[in-house]
Amino acid sequence: MKTINVTTKTKSYAIKIGTGALSQLGDLVKTVWQPGQVAVVTDTNVHPHYAQPVVTALKAAGFQVHVLTVPAGEQSKSWAQVERLIDQLSRAHFTRSDGVLALGGGVVGDLAGFVAATYMRGIGLIQVPTSLLAQVDSSVGGKTAIDLPTGKNLVGSFYQPDLVVIDPDTLKTLPARMLAEGYGEIVKCAALVGGDFWSLLQPITDVTAILPAAPALIAASVAFKAQIVMADEHEQGQRQLLNFGHTIGHALELLARGRLMHGEAVAIGLVQVSRLFAMHGLAPAELAETIAARLSAVGLPTKLPAIASAEVVAVMHHDKKIHHDALTWVYLDAIGKPKLAPVPVAELPAWVAPLWQLPTEVAGPTDN
């Protein structure tokens, strides 16, 4: 089992990566928590596959386990679910000696993390991500959040977990579309890092190649993100680089209203921001196509869906990266050479307008 250690100003914790890690979960949890109550927060998709093995492992290690299940999907990142989960913790008499274990994808991790961060001003949190997207992205770094009608992740906190346990075996139950979605975030990280990490992507020529390569891809992504988080826990500087592709991606995800998954929207964002900066003479023209080739190899979308630029700009006005009336964009000079560029909010309509001169997709992808 590979261990990546994260040390920030607020917390030190380990990220454990290994096939079969779920079977060792009880012993791993005992390394950071004394036996007590554990709320396993999961969703309706993950529960049938992994809830019982996790409960069995935790009970064998001496923990009292409560399974709290939410509906699968982004809609669960809501005030209503936060209230429901916190009410269940309170009724079960959870104290600061007890903890929350997030078992699922990014939605579960964000929601359960926010609940752990706010109940009694903070109780123990362990992340056990079961989707590729969550394993390489949202489970590492301490971001927790819920959504508002005006945008994603607008209410949240930075709250580091006590432990992250990543078992690549959980990816075997994912549909191909969700594997590809997580790969979109891997391409983002690899493009930011370049070098050997970018080279790891070259053999991935279709979605079926992701699973056997997953342990190496996960380890490389997590090591990179851990390094960024340790340097900039609260996204004041270098951590902003992780938003590459997200300025456009988050807006498209919200406006697509369920037609685009997060990693799909980010994939479009990666390509389109690279095209946009090329149009403004700040990035090489061929870079967007280099990134697009890696994404389209696994079936990820790269073209803008048929959503009006005015709608996208309106959502961008709620972007968390706006400081002093300017929105900070992340782009690449070349693979492995990221840069930050602030653009005044007042100039956003004209700044993004060139993208809408390019061909668009009539609709977002359908489930497959």
Q: For 209-265, how does the pLDDT look when each residue is reduced to its tens digit (9 = 90+)?
A: 999 999 999 999 999 999 998 987 776 678 889 999 999 999 999 899 889 999 999
Does residue 58 have a pLDDT over 60?
yes
State the pLDDT at residue 196: 97
* Residue at token pair 């992507």: 201
The mean pLDDT of 57-79, rounded to a whole number, is: 97
Is 328 marked as binding a ligand? Answer: no
Among 188, 262, 275, 321, which one carries the catalytic annotation? 262
- 3-class secondary structure, 17: strand
Among this protein's residues, is 320 annotated catalytic?
no
Does residue 367 have a pLDDT over 70?
no
**Which class in CATH covers the domain with range 2-173?**
alpha beta
Long-range contacts from 62-65, C-beta under 8 angstroms, 24+ separation: 62/30, 62/35, 63/26, 63/29, 63/33, 63/35, 63/36, 63/37, 63/38, 64/35, 64/36, 64/37, 64/38, 65/37, 65/38, 65/40
Is 46 marked as binding a ligand? Answer: no
The mean pLDDT of 289-317, rounded to a whole number, is: 95
Give the whole-number percent of the chain exceeding pLDDT 70.
Answer: 96
Is 108 marked as binding a ligand? Answer: yes
- 272, 248 in Cβ contact below 8 A? yes
Is 188 marked as binding a ligand? Answer: no
Q: Please, where are the H alpha helices in 143-175?
A: none
Count the Cβ atoms, other than its own, within 10 Å of residue 219.
19
State the pLDDT at residue 235: 67
State the pLDDT at residue 236: 66
Going by pLDDT thresholds of 50, 70 and 90, the confidence category of residue 364 is very low
Going by pLDDT thresholds of 50, 70 and 90, the confidence category of residue 100 is very high
CA atoms within 13 A on the CB side of 248: 31
The structural domains of the chain, with segments of one domain joined by +, span 2-173, 176-361
CATH assignment, 176-361: 1.20.1090.10
Q: Is the dihedral of CA 100, 106, 108, 111 positive or negative?
A: positive
Distance (Å, rounded) from C-alpha 329 to C-alpha 264?
19
State the pLDDT at residue 153: 87
Among this protein's residues, is 239 annotated catalytic?
yes
Among this protein's residues, is 262 annotated catalytic?
yes
Among this protein's residues, is 121 annotated catalytic?
yes
Among 16, 77, 177, 250, which one carries the catalytic annotation? 250
Does residue 358 have a pLDDT over 80?
no
The mean pLDDT of 41-68, rounded to a whole number, is: 97
As a whole number, the mean pLDDT across the chain is 93
Minimum mean pLDDT among 15-19, 118-122, 316-320: which range? 316-320
Distance (Å, rounded) from C-alpha 283 to C-alpha 267?
18
- 3-class secondary structure, 227: helix
Structure tokens at 94: 């959870």
Amino acid, single-letter form, for residue 124: G
Q: For 189-209, how does the pLDDT look when each residue is reduced to its tens digit (9 = 90+)?
A: 999 999 999 999 999 999 999
Does residue 361 have a pLDDT over 80?
no
Helix pair 262-279, 285-296: axis angle to 10 deg = 160
Does residue 76 have a pLDDT over 80?
yes
Q: CB under 8 Å to 257, separation ≥6 — which residues?
A: none
Among 185, 233, 253, 264, which one carries the catalytic annotation? 185
Is 130 marked as binding a ligand? Answer: yes
Q: For 129-176, how does the pLDDT look when each residue is reduced to its tens digit (9 = 90+)?
A: 999 999 998 888 889 999 998 888 889 999 999 999 999 999 999 999
State the pLDDT at residue 366: 41
